[in-house]
Chain A
Amino acid sequence: MPSTSLLLSIEALAAGVFLLTALGTVAARQLLTCFHLFVWQSLLLSASAALLGLALSSPHLLAVAAITLATKTMLIPWLLRKTVHDEVYRIREIDQVLNIPTSLLLALALAGVGYVFFVEMLGGMAVPAYALVNLPIGVAVLLLGAFTLTVRREAVAQLLALLVAENGVFFAGIAIVPNLPAIAELAAAVDVPVYTLVVGLLTRRIHSELGTTMVGRLTALRED
């Protein structure tokens, strides 16, 4: 059984890579890259929960890790593969409202806000070190996901951004509530695949009607 401090150290390492994958989704141009980054990120979220669970000997967090692993790294990728048209994955370039360098700089500002805001907020409170690692990174990833959701014009890319934001929330959550009621985690585990399925099917429908999934361009009603 490795020592608690070693587990927490490795958890911090996973947190760093977790933030890196979120920055990667902002910078990535290809849909498939975004998709793989999301899977890796979910894997890291699961690893982080497992490490925290072992370090704090909390079975709840181990359950969170197992559920995350099952839904986000297996079920959701499978659902997306099944529902969304193959052609969507062949898109070489994701359509964006802003160009990549500008959105990277804005992402930088958002990550900074996540950090500054949370460290200010937690300033007076006695929080364990692992929460100080996870909480700002989780909030930063939430903001980065929300930002990516705003700038992307493509439906599947938007869905992936939403899932990234959701990962961020969970990443912050596992550190502040080590004894998360299993019902909350189960609810989320059911919720997320359902909205993936709905968006996936909707995208498939849009694609078959219009030949594109650029929902950002669908801004006017056509009357005939």
Chain B
Amino acid sequence: MLVHIGYNLLQVAVVIGFAPLVEGVLARLKEIVQSKRGPSIFQPYRDLAKLLCKDEIVSRRSSWIFRTAPYVAFTAPVFVALLIPVLTRYPLFFAFMGDMLGVGFVLAFGGFFVALAAVDSGNPYGPMGASRTRMVGFLTEPVFLIVFMTISLVAGSTIPYIVQGEWVRSSAAFFAPWHVLLVIAFLLLILAEDGRLPVDSASGHFELAMIEKSKSLEYSGRGAALMKWGGAMKLFVLLVVFLNVLVTPWGLAGPADISLAGVLLAVPLVLFKMLIFLVVLVVIESSLAKLRLFRISEFTGAAFVIAVVAMVSRLFAA
């Protein structure tokens, strides 16, 4: 029991500790693809340290929402890390506190608060980004629900750990046509949800075209650090769900081995899986152009259709 609580907290520590690294590796890989050298992969840590040391400036006109939003944005992924299989295949202490819908709700809660804070800041670009995020959000949420429900149908449970165990156990389900479709739909969702190309350019500096980034423009000092860190952790958590539950459910500490060494061994394996995925992500981001704003509905529409076809084929051809 105590061991399980310990491992659960270890998972949270891994998410908090390695999320900036993933961001750094992603930035570096992108620069390498563009034939540049790019900053060190540890640059996000330095940025965070610098921002945490700096003073914070808050507009006199803004309310408590603006001041609390960074904390919500930081803690939401931390709570999610308690619920999902980051390192172990067996359910840990908090695993049954919330299911995959819970994961979705907690992430959506963080996103909602950040959007409110963007409106609260009074910066004209903030509300614009917030409303665009909501537009993308309401198009992607049905897809999230369908993907999660179809996955749950397979495992007969909505708890991420049990779903993960199911993929490991039955190779027939793993190779089924609808599994590929679900994986692709979820990949499109990650791109849309995390503000990646072709939906939003994460490295762009042009305010009028921003979706994701414009919401944290007004933050400085500690607030900016927490927003940045929270965003990195959100990507990390989404990747963990995508890789550990859906695409490559292997390499986690198994139920037979509950020693600390086994759990620690899972850390490099998970990071290695992420590295491979980041290369794929960089290829996607480097080969696609940004979509016009009203074309985003086509992108998410495609994700929706793929998810529903997956569900139909799961329901009828099982």
B305 touches A137 (CB 8 A): no
Q: Which residue of A lies closest to B310 (CB)?
A: A16
B309 touches A12 (CB 8 A): no
Chain B 253-290, CB within 8 Å of chain A: the 1/0 string? Answer: 00000000000000000000000000000000000000
A167 to chain B, nearest CB (A): 15
Scan residues 8-38 of chain A and give those whose CB is less than 8 A from a CB of chain B: 9-10, 12-13, 15-17, 19-20, 23, 27
Taking a contact as CB atoms closer than 8 A, the residue among A101, A136, A137 that contacts B298 in the complex is A101
Chain B 287-318, CB within 8 Å of chain A: the 1/0 string? Answer: 00000000001100110111011001100110
Chain B interface size, as a band, is 20 to 34
A177 neighbours in B (Cβ, 8 Å): none
Known contacts A16-B180, A100-B301, A116-B316: does B306 contact A23 (CB below 8 Å)?
A: yes
Taking a contact as CB atoms closer than 8 A, the residue among B171, B184, B301 that contacts A20 in the complex is B184
B310 to chain A, nearest CB (A): 8
**A111 within 8 Å of B (CB atoms):** yes
Taking a contact as CB atoms closer than 8 A, the residue among B175, B297, B301, B313 that contacts A10 in the complex is B175
A16 touches B179 (CB 8 A): yes
Known contacts A10-B175, A15-B177: does B305 contact A107 (CB below 8 Å)?
A: yes
**A201 within 8 Å of B (CB atoms):** no
A23 touches B309 (CB 8 A): yes
B35 to chain A, nearest CB (A): 25
What CA separation (Å) do A101 and B305 show in the bound complex? 10
A19 neighbours in B (Cβ, 8 Å): 177, 181, 309, 313
**B53 within 8 Å of A (CB atoms):** no
**A115 within 8 Å of B (CB atoms):** yes
A16 touches B302 (CB 8 A): no
How many of A's residues come within 8 Å of B, CB to CB? Answer: 28
Interface residues, chain B, with chain A CB atoms under 8 Å away: 171-172, 174-181, 184, 297-298, 301-302, 304-306, 308-309, 312-313, 316-317
Having A107-B305, A137-B313, one finds 7 other A-B pairs with CB under 8 Å, namely: A16-B180, A20-B180, A100-B301, A104-B304, A112-B309, A119-B317, A136-B317
Interface residues, chain A, with chain B CB atoms under 8 Å away: 5, 9-10, 12-13, 15-17, 19-20, 23, 27, 100-101, 104-105, 107-108, 111-112, 115-116, 119, 132-133, 136-137, 140
**Could you give 23 example pairs across A and B, Cβ below 8 Å?**
A9-B175, A12-B175, A13-B175, A16-B176, A16-B177, A16-B178, A17-B180, A19-B177, A19-B309, A19-B313, A27-B301, A100-B301, A101-B298, A101-B301, A104-B298, A104-B301, A104-B302, A104-B305, A107-B305, A108-B305, A112-B312, A115-B316, A132-B317
